[in-house]
Amino acid sequence: MAKTKTVKKAPAKAMAKAAPRTAPKPAAAKAAPAKAVVAKAATSTPTSMAGTSGQGLVRLLEDDGTVQKGKDPNLPEATLLFLYEQMVQVREFDRRMLMLQRQGRIGFYGPILGQEAATVGSVAALESRDWIFPALREGAAAMMRGLSLTEAINQLIGNGADRCKGRQMPCHYTFKEGHYYGMSSVIGTQLSHAVGAAMAARIRGDDVVVLGYLGDGATSANDFHCGMNFAGVYQSPCVLFCQNNQWAISVPISKQSASETLAQKGKAYGMPFVRVDGNDVLAVYTVTQQAAARARRGDGPTFIEAVTYRRLGHSSSDDPTRYRDEAEVKAWEKKDPVDRFRAYLQKRGLWSEAKEVAFKEQIAQRVNDAIAAAEKNGPPADETLVTDVYAHVPQQLKDQLADVLALEGRGVNQGAFPL
């Protein structure tokens, strides 16, 4: 039962109890001071949003990894290395999962190649007690919050050890201890949930902000508009983070919205907005941290548009050559977020070829071990077909299951997901 007393400061509630299992970052997050130039952009006023696509884009790193003059946020070394390692890990994980899908070992996969910085940089900027409401491509966030690779692969397989008990398609992770929300496939619906959760945190007096993700396509969905409107009206302590990867399956951003930028949609809902280079992990980290700080101070929500690119197909079932020009993909390869950040680290003497080789080997091994461990698990028990529909399994459902299990022979799961 919920207690009726209002808790002003709630240091350790159930939700704050489970700390992430990895991530040496919380201290680092506090250590990085906000840079004035970014803060200004982040609190965009009508004048600063007037730019066209190129303008108003917050960017700290050049494509070659050189940091723009006077703009290095000087993050602590541990944070920098954490960011890099997470980006490399998710890239390798992604590559391997796509391979498993091709080999028929998992049914479907939605890759994030090219978007590593946007996810990793934004999640890392939060405190571990903050909540995350992911969209399609933020699985890395769950892993950064401590979901083990094996557990992630259990979900992709849909086996008996999967937290959602093999009930969801691949890439629908859930991880409550890490405050990572289990989403549906319905585009955009999680946004109002994020806004409401943040309102609840404030009602309870918790020092928790919420990060809600969405894609560019989702900005067309009803739920985007109600989520944004409620966030603005109630000054919900949240950050709404749009991964503008230029495509919603085959629909390019130019056909998704006639708005000059997605970021400026924040203006209509009365909230600060910022457009950031999503392939620049330092910039993403910095603007998200500022937005989270604003929410934490009680100054309301921020809308962030991270400009990035989906380099592969929409999913394992999509062939993007049908609808887009390979030259566009090639151009974005040059802006690779991982290469760019590695170059920065190398220039700062924090990384080397030797470290790279050793680290990649280590990651590959980690993923291999996780695959092997996950593939040992069998399918979910038949009973899981009828549990969790309600808190208690109704007799009628027990009967339905018993009737089917009483029949001889067992069907097999066939078919391949076509999207």
Partner 1 sequence: MTATQQKAGEAKAGTKVMTMLEAITDAMRTEMRNDDRVVVFGEDVGKKGGVFGATAGLFEEFGEKRCFDTPLSECGIIGTAIGMAVYGIRPIAEIQFLDFIYPAFDQIVSEAAKMRYRSGGEYTCPMVIRSPYGGGIRGGHYHSQSAEAYFCHTPGLKVVIPSTPADAKGLLIASIRDEDPVMFLEPKRIYRHGKGEVPLGEHVVPLGKARIAREGTDVTVLCYGAMVSVCEAAAETAAQAGRSVEIVDLRTLVPLDEATVLESVKKTGRCVVVYEAPKTCGYGAELSALVAEKCIEHLEGPIVRVAGFDTPFPYTLEHLYMPDEKRVLAGIEKTFVW
136 sits near ligand TPP (criterion: CB under 6 A): yes
> At residue 244, what are phi and psi to the nearest 5 degrees?
-80, 90
Q: Could you identify the residue written with the tokens 């009365």? A: 270
Nearer CB in complex with partner 1: 48/174: 174
Q: What tokens does 204 get?
A: 């309870």
**Rounded Cα gap, residues 226 and 276, in angstroms:** 23
Neighbouring CB atoms inside 10 A of 99's CB total 13
Find the catalytic residue in 59, 310, 340, 342.
310
Position with the least CB separation from ligand TPP: 215
**Minimum gap (Å) between residue 178 Cβ and partner 1:** 22
Choose one: 2-10, 101-109, 182-190, 381-389; the region binding ligand TPP (CB under 6 A): 182-190
> At residue 240, what are phi and psi to the nearest 5 degrees?
-105, 120
**Minimum gap (Å) between residue 250 Cβ and ligand TPP:** 9
| Residues between 197 and 216 with contacts to ligand TPP, criterion CB under 6 A | 215-216
**Rounded Cα gap, residues 278 and 267, in angstroms:** 20
Nearer CB in complex with partner 1: 48/257: 257
Under a CB-based contact definition with an 8 Å cutoff, are residues 105 and 377 in contact? no
Active site residue 314: yes
Choose one: 11-19, 70-78, 283-291, 381-389; the region binding partner 1 (CB under 8 A): 381-389
Among 64, 203, 323, 369, binds partner 1 (CB under 8 A): 323
In 3-state terms, what secondary structure has residue 200? helix
Find the catalytic residue in 314, 340, 342, 344.
314
| Residues between 222 and 261 with contacts to ligand TPP, criterion CB under 6 A | 245, 247-249
Number of helices (H) and strands (E) in the chain: give both, helices first: 16, 8
419 sits near partner 1 (criterion: CB under 8 A): yes
Among 124, 141, 199, 218, binds ligand TPP (CB under 6 A): 218
Residues counted in the chain: 419
Among 66, 74, 184, 365, binds partner 1 (CB under 8 A): 184
Phi-psi region of 370 (alpha: psi -120 to 50; beta: other; left: phi over 0): alpha
Choose one: 49-57, 92-100, 180-188, 396-404; the region binding ligand TPP (CB under 6 A): 180-188
- CB-count exposure of residue 85 (10 Å: 0-12, 13-18, 19+): middle
Active site residue 340: no
- Residues sharing a CB contact under 8 Å with residue 216, sequence separation 6 or more, in sequence order: 242, 243, 244, 245, 246, 247, 248, 253, 256, 257, 262
Active site residue 193: no
Cite the active site residues. 310, 314, 323
| Residue ranges in contact with ligand TPP by CB under 6 A | 136-137, 185-187, 215-218, 245, 247-249, 310, 314
| Residue ranges in contact with partner 1 by CB under 8 A | 107-108, 158-159, 166-169, 172, 184-188, 217-218, 220-223, 248-251, 255-257, 318, 322-323, 379-380, 382, 384-386, 389, 396-397, 400-401, 403-404, 407-419
